[in-house]
Amino acid sequence: MTMLTEHPLASIRVLLGDDHRIVREGLKQVLADAPEVQVVAEAATGPEVLDRVAELDGGGGAGGGPGTAAGAALDVVLLDIAMPGMDGLDVLQTLRRTHPRLPVLMLSTYPERQYAVRCIKLGASGYLNKSADPDDMIAAVRKVAAGGVFVTPATAEALAQAVGQRGAQAGPEALSHREHQVFRLLIQGLSVTQIGAQLGLAGNTVSTYRARILEKTGTRNDVELALYAERQGSR
């Protein structure tokens, strides 16, 4: 956890949520090229993100971008999906309840065609791969801070495909949020017991989710599920 001194001229105040310090340092260097953007806080775990938001922006979110909410101390949260302590998607859902007007821009190394759609559906203001061009990163922060939604061409295509598949419920987008969490851990090779411990679920509950995942993906076992994940670009 790191609290930084707020710059008096900053008009877009950002919280960085990522468990890798080197990534946070890289993001700060990128954002430093935008004079109006100031990183005011950092967090290395999901719970720390929620704590920092509560400390900085206890009133319920900046909403509508810089300057639109008098006294708001935070304008944008940049949040990694794979956060320790609490999954980034769970953090996103919590922020949507506690700070519904605070823009959250999701960052990840996961495939855009799969995770971007899921993040947008859960209420994110945008999704960017960590390998994105620095200019795109700055443009995304500016847009979501102003109340917009940042969508790359790849994300727009994924959203269009998701709409087209809605009736058939094909692919990973057919999975619920919790099913998707279990899906990600299964393809990493974790056992039912390990998944239950990580997500705080009983073993039989995890087994039920696993059965639903196999049914929805048209696979019969964990090996086929892993191959399915490879084809979908989920690994």
Rounded to 5 degrees, φ, ψ at 76 are -145, 140
Q: pLDDT by residue (tens digit) across 176-196?
A: 888 888 998 998 888 899 999
Do 2-158 and 172-232 share a fold? no
Mean pLDDT, rounded, of the chain? 83
Whether the Cβ atoms of residue 144 and residue 115 lie closer than 8 Å to each other:
no
- The ranges assigned to domains in the chain are 2-158, 172-232
CATH 1.10.600.10 fits 172-232, yes or no: no
pLDDT of residue 140 exceeding 70: yes
- CATH fold of the domain at 2-158: Rossmann fold (3.40.50)
State mean pLDDT over 37-56: 95
- Per-residue pLDDT of 76-134, as tens digits, reads 999 999 898 898 999 999 999 999 999 999 998 877 766 888 888 889 999 998 888 99
Mean pLDDT of 150-162: 77
Q: Can you tell me the distance from the alpha carbon of 104 to that of 63, in angstroms, rounded to the nearest whole number?
A: 11
pLDDT of residue 65 exceeding 60, the answer is no
